Amino acid sequence: MSKKIMQFFGMFLLASGLFLTSCTDDTIDPTPTAATVSLGTGAGFIGANAEIETGSTFKVNVIATSGTNPMKVITIYKDNVVIDFNDLTYNGSGATSNPALLFNTDKTSLNWEIGLMGEATDGSHDYKFEIQDDNGLTNSVTISITTKTLATPLEKTLMGVLFNQAGPVGTGGLDLDNGMGLGSTNAAIEIRDMGIDCGLPDASNWRKQIGSANSADMRKVNLTALPAFTFAATASKEAILEAYTTGTVLASAMTDNCTTPVSVNDVSAPCVVGDMFVVFSNSKYYLIRIAKLNNTTTNNDDSYEIDVKF
């Protein structure tokens, strides 16, 4: 065989080998996949963004299935910070770690009930539930939980009449629980009238001032601190409490009823229609508003019409 023929035959074999090689299927390892993670939506579980009462606990149902590799660990975050395990429960028992290692069937199919403590203050926080597998791949699901102080409905709205303390016997006090006018020393009252100024004529001697009674504490609603506050719009106990905590502290004063003066706590300035106060007594916060002033000119039958909410 000539040298040229041998060279041609060699090139033919090389080309054939390349052709056969190019037609053979290559085996390529598939790209590894992470675990799938979701939150269940069964009864008692939060499975999406939600609002809860401030300071309350909540539960989620974390469901995960392994990908290419077995699952290794679960980690729970709040605002991308690992949560202290003392604030968690796993399947109804106190958590002992976070992150938590997974064992046995949990490595391939996980279905956990996780309890969490909500924030003690109002606000919004992101909670992330992350699964990492044996190869370091991670996947997660995140929800936003808003903590909010829920409104407590009012017990009652009523109107009462408080009479001038210098009027007939048995006047000068008001029971805010039922709007009943009673005497200024009656044990059931929360507020009392301050009587008259004996140095003025009957037509103008009513002081139009009120004070607290029987260890109650009364503050005037501070509309500078709460510019949008109104009696009509107040619909919750929390709103009344806020008006009390931001309210103006009142000083004590003496009655002047043409008899022996008596010291009274938390005495208002002369009232005008629309004045609002919050009275704290026996674990209740009463919002009161001066709705009307009935001033008499020939006797001491003067009175306030007072709206009450609690």
The pLDDT value recorded for residue 29 is 58
The pLDDT value recorded for residue 9 is 42
Least confident of 11-20, 252-261, 295-304: 11-20
Phi, psi of 56 (to 5 degrees): -90, 165
The pLDDT value recorded for residue 4 is 43
The pLDDT value recorded for residue 259 is 77
pLDDT higher than threshold 80 for residue 12: no
The pLDDT value recorded for residue 225 is 93
* Over residues 186-209, mean pLDDT: 94
| pTM for this predicted structure | 0.62
The pLDDT value recorded for residue 309 is 98
pLDDT tens string 89-145: 999 999 999 999 999 999 999 999 999 998 989 999 999 999 999 999 999 999 999
The pLDDT value recorded for residue 143 is 97
Class of domain 36-148: mainly beta
pLDDT higher than threshold 70 for residue 231: yes
Least confident of 180-194, 195-209, 210-224: 195-209
The pLDDT value recorded for residue 149 is 82
* Over residues 161-190, mean pLDDT: 95
The pLDDT value recorded for residue 168 is 87
Average pLDDT taken over every residue of the chain: 90
* Over residues 205-218, mean pLDDT: 97
The pLDDT value recorded for residue 13 is 41
**Residue spans per domain, the chain:** 36-148, 157-309
What percentage of the chain has pLDDT greater than the value 90? 78
**CA distances for 224 relative to 19, 44, 123, 167, 238, angstroms:** 89, 43, 25, 35, 18
The pLDDT value recorded for residue 109 is 98
* Over residues 49-56, mean pLDDT: 89
The pLDDT value recorded for residue 27 is 54
